[in-house]
Amino acid sequence: MNDINVGKTPLLQIEGLTKFFGGLRAVSDFNLSINSGELVGLIGPNGAGKTTVFNQITGIYLPTKGTVKFNGINLVGFEPHEITRTGIGRTFQNIRLFSNLSVLDNVRIAFHPQSGYSMFDSILSTSRFFKREQEIIEKAQELLEVMNLSRFQNEIARNLPYGEQRRVEIARALACQPQLLLLDEPAAGMNPKEIMQLMDMIHFVRENFKLTILLIEHQMRVVMGICEYITVMDFGEIIARGNPKEIQDNPKVIEAYLGKGAANAA
Amino acid sequence: MQSVSKPQKPPVIVSPNSFLAWIGKIFLLVIGLFAVYILAINLFDKPYLFAQNVINGIQLGFVYALIALGYTMVYGIVKLINFAHGDVFMVSAFVSFFAVERFALHQWPQRLFPGFNPSLSTVIGTVTTILLSMVICVLLAITIERVAYKPLREAPRIAALITAIGVSFFLEYFGLLNFVFSARYIPYQRPFEVVTWYIKDGIHLVESGVTPPDGAITISNILIIIIFATILVQIFLQYLVRRTKIGIAMRATSFDKPTARLMGIQVDKVISFTFAIGASFAALGGVLYAIAYPSIRTLMGVYPGLKAFVAAVLGGIGSIPGAFVGALIMGQAEAMTSGYISTPMRDAIAFSILILVLLIKPTGIFGEPEKEKA
Amino acid sequence: MDITAMIFSLVKIVAVIAYLYGLLWVLGVKLKKVEIAGKLVDPSLGVNIFGGVIAFGVIQLALTKFNGFSLLNDFDSGLLYQACTMTMVALGLNLIYGFNGQFSLGQWGFYGIGAYTAADITYRWVNGDSRGLVVVGVGVIIGGLVILLIGKFLSNLRRMPVLSSFTLYLIGSILAGVVAVYAGKLAAPLLDPFLGDSLNKGVLAQGLPMQVVFFLAVVFAGIFAAEVSFLFGLPVLSLGSDYFGIATLGFSIVVYTLMVNSDTILPFPEMKGGRGMIGIPKLTTWFWAFLFLVLVIVIMRNIIRSSTGRSILSVREDETAARSMGIDVARTKLMSFVIGSFFAGIGGGVYAHFIGFLSPGAFDFLVGFNPLIIIVFGGLGSMTGTITASFGWIFFLEGMLREILGKISPEAPSWRYVLYPLTLLLLMLVRPQGLLGSVEWGFLKSKIIPLRKSETREGVNNHE
């Protein structure tokens, strides 16, 4: 790995991550190191194990082996909600909004761990409750405004157009106050114009919120366009890593994506 | 933008072999040992009584197995707890009751052709009665499926469950009306005489009005019929599911409905067929249950239905051998509880076992491990 | 058919629903702040409380006998109390199922636990035995503390098998129970002399002290039901929706079985098993029914509108997404289950003391589907719907139909139980979200947050 900041502790350091489902090896000996502020892509064909890596980072699956260090703390064994609270936000491949709730509520839910009042404050309607609620509303509205969603504030989430739903999901992830944002195929189902907008947005969010971003993507053009480093997986293993240029020319990657014969034919 | 990241204590991960992880297992072990202890002292105290309880348990268990098949097949295919299944069981008992009591269907060959061999007449008549109950219950089940469940196939699963509860209630409370079945316990007239033998120094026939001596184990012909019928049904069902076209269609539908539809399987028909098959077995169970325990009432299907469902879950819902094994376990548990702990607690035990088994193996004894979630 | 009786019953139903909506409206009135003596004062709370008192007074007046005549007779007041308890139970279930999405059939069991616990406390109290109150009181308090302590201990552990946690909690609770029994034995000589017996009531068994004991009995019964639901819910909530439903149904059946055998399997001869517990002091007055009802409504509404409430909703919507938003899903489920059961326990306590007679038949699991049907009717996730449906259901089924069908023939009232599963079926087929959907009214309505006044900040995708 051509890492510039040698010596500095990486924000996220994954070592030897392995996951078995029964006898099936979904991810094997996965290593990845991300420094603060980087935008890293993780690509690979369908079924390569990308989402499984995400699910292990966020604690939805317990890794069979390996460590996931975030800010120097090993996250393995933490519950998903605790991992989110340490500063990792994520979106989902197939949008998972709270579809019967309003857009504002969707974002407000993500503020729950930071609500700063207990259930008894809410039952007794203390002044702290009203103050914190107001703060949460303001923060949530600010996020919606940044994501250009203000006018949808009181809409029910499922009634929004697809692109807007993706943005709500990102707003919701940002509400978790993450240092690291995990985006799972954000461009899935988008047309080229929307993909352009999405890439703009990812840049914008990264600058404005000082985020480190790890991005799973299926479509090469998105990753090539915005990522600084790329890791390529196939069949649960890393087959290549480097900057977009190196990846583009890597024969192994072409083979993984197009198959052996296709690589030759191309 | 402030960060919420706080320095956290590294979590203590409880390894599967540590004492903390074992606390739960020790708890189970204590319960298990206690049960074994109770059974053991009773076994050594009065072995014949123990054997009698085992036989009672087998009789119950085999009837539960007949009902459980319907639950497990329907759940396997549409993921619905068909609450009305227990009431189909009840309806079957009442159909056979009216057939025997009002129309003497159990003796029709003799009544039509006087001079017909009486025992052959009873056999043919009883089989006809059972078939009639099965046909009516199949029609009932298909009607229920078409009217109440089919429109909700795409709705949330709980909506269908609530509908199932509604159907079950309707059948029960409709039956409770005085001009229907009323709320009373009704003595059930058996289509044939129950013959009982006792085993002590050889097998002897129990004469009517004579109690068997102490230390004897009694068995009856109905027990043998129940065992025989259930095994027959199991074999038939295995054959149906493994070898026939409709069986393969059922398995395909339960595995993946949209794909099955794409393969040209008429999913709705397969589902109706599943309901029908399940109802016919429950109907068979209903008649046999009523002959074995000859006192019927409108709410008689509630507890056997629930216990059969528990049995299906226990064995691994969706699995046909699982339902059978689960039902046998339930039958034994119930017989032993009413024999040695307390009769009223037998209903409670069923559910305690269910909860314990689900906690240890959430997919049941024969259940397949869950697939990777998306 | 008696037309006037029918019209009268209908008027009663309409009146009671109108009354409820009025109550919810007055509790939710928001006024502008006014300046009094140079200070900005918010008069809303005063108006809400005053409105509540008026609402209480209206019915109280209607119940009071003037020259032996009162606007509402005993039958009506019975319906009223029944509707209040049913509302509490149904609200609790709506929290568990409608808001949190956990399909529970065990609500009726917790209702029964609450009823029997509260009834046993006051029954023993008026018969000169203080142990009921002391044992349950000390038990639930120590039990609660023990549960909190064990929870604290377990919060450092990860991947703890749920059965092990359950065993620890169970042992803790049993120990708390043992301590409570000893506390009861110690306190008995101190308190019993002031209680008198069933004929000569002592100082503490009448007047204000008795009312306080009643209040404590109901609250302790609620907490007891909540703690039982905690112990039960901890392992069972991890099973997943269908299995959770069937396990909770099993819970109701176990509770029912225990009630039938309360004098043989359980050591409570005064409950008299299947014959039914008689001689429970009839302490529920409109004051208490109204107070507990309003308390339950206010507590639940305040939870729902808070961040906790939103986390409860998020679990219903999508568990995985909720987890990834930092919400402790297991804890949220358990919490809503425990709070819901607490409401059921309170409802049970109030019910026991107005009916004065508890028979296990009233807690049969078949009857236990009623709250489920009510919340489905009213709308899952709608408090207004639940309240309306509870009152409407009691006044319609128990009031109007029973009265009117009873006049046609003695057989006819049993028809109502045939009609309502049919109605349920039709409703599920035609309008599965319930009559009111998730619409709320007045006090229960969440306030609509106005759009933010834009500060024209640079957002994303502005070049659309």
Q: Is the predicted pLDDT of residue A8 greater than 50, yes or no?
A: yes
A115 within a domain of the structure (yes/no): yes
Q: Which structural domain, as residue segments, surrounds residue A163?
A: 98-172
**Which of A125, A156, A172 represents a domain boundary (last residue)?**
A172
Instruction: Tell me the average pLDDT across B230-248.
Output: 92
Q: Compare C309 and B195 and report the one with higher pLDDT.
A: C309
DSSP code for C410: T
Per-residue pLDDT at B62: 95
C268: closest CA of chain B, how far (Å):
16
Instruction: Tell me the average pLDDT across B266-291.
Output: 94
Percent of chain A at pLDDT above 90?
36
Q: Which residues pair with A70 in a beta bridge?
A: A12, A73
Mutation target to probe the B interface, by most B beta carbons within 10 A, among C162, C164, C431 is: C164
- Give Cβ neighbours of residue C83 (< 8 Å, ≥ 6 apart): C16, C390, C391, C394, C395
Instruction: Tell me the average pLDDT across A227-248.
Output: 86
C403 pLDDT tier (thresholds 50, 70, 90): confident
Instruction: Tell me the average pLDDT across C412-420.
Output: 76
Q: Contacts of residue C233 in chain B, CB cutoff 8 Å?
A: none
A50, with CB counted inside 10 A (0-12, 13-18, 19+), is buried
Instruction: Tell me the average pLDDT across B204-231.
Output: 86
d(CA B52, CA B216): 8
B21 within a domain of the structure (yes/no): no
Q: In terms of domains, do A102 and A75 share one?
A: no
Of C302, C320, C454, the CB nearest to A122: C302
Q: Is the predicted pLDDT of residue C310 greater than 80, yes or no?
A: yes
Domain layout of chain C by residue ranges: 3-129+195-444
Q: Is the predicted pLDDT of residue C357 greater than 70, yes or no?
A: yes
Percent of chain B at pLDDT above 70?
95
CB A14 within 8 A of CB A32: yes
Q: Mean pLDDT in chain B?
A: 87
A261 pLDDT tier (thresholds 50, 70, 90): low
d(CA B157, CA B176): 29
Q: In terms of domains, do A141 and A214 share one?
A: no
Q: In terms of domains, do A159 and A210 share one?
A: no
Low-confidence winner among B150-154, B183-187, B362-366, C348-352 (lowest mean pLDDT): B362-366
B19 within a domain of the structure (yes/no): no
Instruction: Tell me the average pLDDT across A26-54.
Output: 88
A138 pLDDT tier (thresholds 50, 70, 90): very high
A93 within a domain of the structure (yes/no): no
B50 pLDDT tier (thresholds 50, 70, 90): very high
Per-residue pLDDT at A264: 53
Q: Mean pLDDT in chain C?
A: 88
Q: In terms of domains, do A148 and A229 share one?
A: no
H-assigned helices in C356-439 = 369-378, 383-393, 402-408, 416-430
Contact A77 B372 (CB under 8 A): no
Structure-token pair, residue A175: 């509400």
Contact C369 B306 (CB under 8 A): no
Percent of chain C at pLDDT above 90?
51
Mutation target to probe the C interface, by most C beta carbons within 10 A, among A60, A111, A119 is: A119
Instruction: List Cα–Cα distances, C378 to A92, B74, C387, in angstroms.
Output: 34, 30, 8
Q: Does C361 touch chain B (CB under 8 A)?
A: no
C20 pLDDT tier (thresholds 50, 70, 90): very high
- Give Cβ neighbours of residue C265 (< 8 Å, ≥ 6 apart): B342, B344, B345, C258
Chains touching chain B through at least 3 C-beta pairs below 8 angstroms are A, C
Q: Does A192 touch chain B (CB under 8 A)?
A: no
Q: Coil, helix or strand for A216? A: strand
Task: Give Rg (Cα) of chain A.
Answer: 20
Here the CATH number for the domain that contains residue B109 is 1.10.3470
Instruction: Tell me the average pLDDT across A8-13.
Output: 84
Q: Mean pLDDT in chain A?
A: 86
Q: Contacts of residue A82 in chain B, CB cutoff 8 Å?
A: 8, 11
Of C161, C369, C414, the CB nearest to B21: C161
Structure-token pair, residue C318: 């999508």
Nearest chain B alpha carbon to A96:
B374
The sign of the CA dihedral B317, B318, B322, B326 is positive
Q: Which residues pair with B196 in a beta bridge?
A: B220
Of A77, A90, A115, the CB nearest to C158: A77
Q: Is the predicted pLDDT of residue A263 greater than 60, yes or no?
A: no
Q: Does C241 touch chain B (CB under 8 A)?
A: yes
Contact B1 A210 (CB under 8 A): yes
Distance from chain centroid for Cα B344: 19
Instruction: List Cα–Cα distances, A134 to A138, B187, C40, C280, C298, in angstroms.
Output: 6, 69, 20, 48, 20
Per-residue pLDDT reduced to its tens digit, B62-102: 999 999 999 999 998 888 889 899 999 999 999 999 999 88
B125 within a domain of the structure (yes/no): yes
Q: In terms of domains, do A62 and A191 share one?
A: yes
Per-residue pLDDT reduced to its tens digit, A194-208: 888 888 888 888 988
Q: In terms of domains, do A247 and A122 share one?
A: no
Per-residue pLDDT at B7: 45
Per-residue pLDDT at A262: 53
b/e burial code for range B125-135 (CB count within 10 A of at least 16 → b)? bbebbbebbbe
B13 within a domain of the structure (yes/no): no
Contact C240 B159 (CB under 8 A): no
Instruction: List Cα–Cα distances, A131 to A138, A169, B257, C260, in angstroms.
Output: 11, 26, 51, 51
Q: Which of residues 417-436 of C touch B (CB under 8 A)?
A: 417-418, 420-422, 424-425, 428-429, 432
C455: closest CA of chain A, how far (Å):
9
Contact C414 B173 (CB under 8 A): yes
CB A135 within 8 A of CB C448: no
Q: Compare C177 and C69 and report the one with higher pLDDT.
A: C177
For the beta carbon of residue A23, count every other beta carbon within 10 angstroms.
5
Q: Does C410 touch chain B (CB under 8 A)?
A: no
For the beta carbon of residue A261, count every other beta carbon within 10 angstroms.
9
Q: Which structural domain, as residue segments, surrounds residue B151?
A: 31-358
Contact B10 A74 (CB under 8 A): yes
Q: Does C152 touch chain B (CB under 8 A)?
A: no
Per-residue pLDDT at B55: 94
Contact A122 C308 (CB under 8 A): yes
A3 pLDDT tier (thresholds 50, 70, 90): very low
Q: Contacts of residue B21 in chain A, CB cutoff 8 Å?
A: none
Count of residues for chain B?
374
Q: In terms of domains, do A132 and A258 share one?
A: no
Contact A94 B369 (CB under 8 A): no
Here the CATH number for the domain that contains residue A65 is 3.40.50.300
Percent of chain B at pLDDT above 90?
45
Which residue has tokens 């070049």?
C463
Contact C418 B347 (CB under 8 A): no
Instruction: Tell me the average pLDDT across B291-318.
Output: 90
E-only strand ranges, C1-94: 34-36, 39-41
Instruction: Tell me the average pLDDT across B105-109.
Output: 85
Q: Contacts of residue A170 in chain C, CB cutoff 8 Å?
A: none
Contact C310 A104 (CB under 8 A): no
Q: Which of residues 130-149 of A touch C (CB under 8 A)?
A: 132-133, 136-138, 141-142, 144-148
Distance between terminal CA atoms of chain B?
A: 33
B218 within a domain of the structure (yes/no): yes
Work out the widest C-alpha separation in chain A, in whole angstroms.
72
Chains touching chain C through at least 3 C-beta pairs below 8 angstroms are A, B
Q: In terms of domains, do A264 and A216 share one?
A: yes
Q: Is the predicted pLDDT of residue A4 greater than 50, yes or no?
A: no
Instruction: List Cα–Cα distances, B55 to B52, B178, B342, in angstroms.
Output: 5, 36, 18
Number of domains comprising chain B: 1
Among candidates A181, A45, A54, A158, which has minimal Cα distance to A100?
A: A158
C223 pLDDT tier (thresholds 50, 70, 90): very high
Q: Is the predicted pLDDT of residue C95 greater than 50, yes or no?
A: yes
Q: Is the predicted pLDDT of residue A265 greater than 90, yes or no?
A: no
Q: Does A209 touch chain B (CB under 8 A)?
A: yes
A13 within a domain of the structure (yes/no): yes
DSSP A247-262: HHH-HHHHHHHH-HHH
Nearest chain B alpha carbon to C427:
B163
Q: In terms of domains, do A237 and A257 share one?
A: yes
Contact C324 A205 (CB under 8 A): no
**Which of A121, A155, A172 represents a domain boundary (last residue)?**
A172
Structure-token pair, residue A251: 């024969």
Mutation target to probe the A interface, by most A beta carbons within 10 A, among C156, C306, C318, C335 is: C306
Of A26, A76, A209, the CB nearest to B1: A209
Q: Contacts of residue C462 in chain A, CB cutoff 8 Å?
A: 148
Among candidates C225, C235, C77, which has minimal Cα distance to C168?
A: C235
Task: Give Rg (Cα) of chain C.
Answer: 24
CATH class of the domain whose range is C3-129+195-444: mainly alpha
Number of domains comprising chain A: 2
A260 pLDDT tier (thresholds 50, 70, 90): low
Per-residue pLDDT at C114: 97
B178-192, C28-42, C304-318, C396-410: which has the highest mean pLDDT? C304-318
Q: Contacts of residue A96 in chain C, CB cutoff 8 Å?
A: 318, 320-321
What angle separates helix B19-45 from helix B47-78, to the nearest 10 degrees? 130
